[in-house]
Amino acid sequence: MSTLTMDKVRTGEAEFVTRNVGIDPGRHTFADQADLDAYLVKVMGGKAASGGVTGFLSRKGRYMRRSNGGVRAVTFGDPVLDAISSPAGTLEIGGKTIDLARGHPAATALHGAGSLDPAAPAVPFDDPALTMTGVVQDAERWISNDGSYVEYRIRNGRLGLHAWKENYTILGYGYWSMGLEISVWNTPCKYEVANIPPMVLYMTVTAPCQMFDGGSASDADNTYVDQMAWGIHAQQPERVAGVCQARWHHRNFVEVVTAGESCLRYKTDPWPLGFPADWTPIATIGPLDGGWTDGSGKVALITTTRRAFSIDMSAFGRPAASGTITGYQSITATFPDDRTYTGELTSARTIAWSNGSTWTKVVNTVLDLSGDWTDGSPWIAVINAGPTSLAVEMSDFDRPDAHGAIDNPTTITVTFPDDKTYTATLQAPNVIRWSNGSTWTRKA
C-alpha cells in the first residue's frame, strides 16, 4: 500500500482522492489557534469565518492512517481531524495536548465507511434501530428512525446512503462536521457511479433556517464518496439534507437523507430525484464489447461503460478513441488523430462508419460471448471475450472474477477462484451449458 500525506491526495480546492491508500499523519503541533487556522486554510482549503475556520470538502475512496513503518494509527475517517492529529489521535496547541480520540470514541470509524476497515460501515448493518420497509430493485430497504440513514442489502453486500451531523468540544477545542456520504461494503460489487447533487445546509443567519449550498460530489467505480462541511470555532448549521444516488448491481437507487434539528422545511422543499441520463445503458442490436476488424487483420477493441465506450486502437498505432451509444443501431466515436464519425450497426456484428469504412466483429465461437449473461436469477455475469481467452465479472453474485479460455468454437473452460474449473458447451444463438448442469442465457 502506498503512503501519502493529506495534502498529496488533495486534487482540487476541496477534493480528496484516497482510493485505498495509506495516509501518513502530518503536522499535529501548533503554536496557537491562529497557527492551526492558517494550516487548515492552506492544507484543507478552509476559509476564515466569524473568528474560526470553515470549509467544504469531498472525499472519494477509503484510507487508513499509517505511521512508523506502516503501523496503523488512529483514523478518524474525517480528513480534517486526520490532517491535524498525531498517530495516537492527539492535537497540541500552544503546549496544551488535546486528546481528539477521547473526544470521539468512534475514532476508527467516524461516519466511517470511508475507513479501509471493512468492519466500519457508516451505521452497523445489523443495528436494531433500522427498520425494513420492503424490497426495492431486488434489494431489501432498511431505514433509521430519524431518516438520516437508508441501507440497501443484497445478500451480504450493503449500500449505505447517510447524512450526519457531529460536533464536540474538548479542552476548549471545538470542531463540527456534517454532510452526506455513499458507501458500499461486504461485497466486491462497487457502485458503478455515485452522485450527491448540491446538498443543502439550513442555518439561521439573518432569518430562521436559511438555505445554503453545501456543494456536490460524484464518483465512479468505487466504494466511498462524501460531501461535507466543517468548522472550527465557527457557527454550525442546524441541519443538512440532500439526495444520495448510486448505481449498484446494475440498478439505480436514490434517497433523501437528513440530519440535524429544527428547520423542518426540508420535508416540503423540492429535491432532484431524477437520475443522470447516461446512468441507464442503451441496448444495442448486438454487444459492442470485443474485437472489431476493418479487414486488414488488425483488431480494434471496444469496451463499453453504460452509454459510453472506448476503442483501443493500439493495433493500428493510433491513440484510443471514445464514443457514445446514441441508439439501438447508432453510435458516435471521436478519434483524436482524425475526427468524429457516426456509426450504424447494420447488424449485430457490423458497423458502417460515416466515412465509408466498415468494421466486422471478430467472433471465434458459435455465439458472441461478450456481454451480459444470467442464470435465471436477477443477477448478471459479464463476459469479456478475447481471441483465445475470456474474463467473467461475477461481482453481481458477490464472487471474484473468473478467467478462462476458448477451447474451440463450441467449448470454453473457465476457472472460478472461489469454486473450481468448469467446461461449457456453447449452443447458438444464446445458451451456455456448464458441466455442473447449470445454464446461462444472454440477458436481453
pLDDT digits (tens, 9 = 90+) for 262-296: 999 999 999 999 999 999 999 999 999 999 999 99
User: Average pLDDT, stretch 309-323?
Assistant: 97
pLDDT value for 116 = 45
pLDDT-based confidence at residue 15 (cuts at 50, 70, 90): confident
Which residues, 6 or more positions from 331, have their beta carbon under 8 angstroms from its beta carbon?
284, 288, 309, 323, 324, 325, 342, 343, 345, 351
Omega of the bond prior to 128 within 30 degrees of 0, cis? no
pLDDT-based confidence at residue 8 (cuts at 50, 70, 90): very low
Helix/strand/coil for 364: coil
| Half-sphere exposure at residue 367, Cβ-oriented, CA atoms within 13 angstroms | 20
pLDDT-based confidence at residue 238 (cuts at 50, 70, 90): very high
**Measured distance CA(217)–CA(199) in Å, rounded:** 9
Instruction: Examine the pLDDT at 171 and tell me if it is beyond 90.
Output: no
**Measured distance CA(50)–CA(419) in Å, rounded:** 61
pLDDT-based confidence at residue 91 (cuts at 50, 70, 90): very high
Instruction: Examine the pLDDT at 441 and tell me if it is beyond 90.
Output: yes
> Which residue type is seen at 26?
G
**Measured distance CA(425)–CA(106) in Å, rounded:** 53
pLDDT value for 10 = 40
pLDDT-based confidence at residue 31 (cuts at 50, 70, 90): very high
417 vs 20 pLDDT, higher one: 417
Range scoring the smallest mean pLDDT among 54-68, 192-206, 211-225, 424-438: 54-68
User: How big is the CA angle at 243 (ends 237 and 245), to the nearest 5 degrees?
Assistant: 145
User: Average pLDDT, stretch 315-325?
Assistant: 98
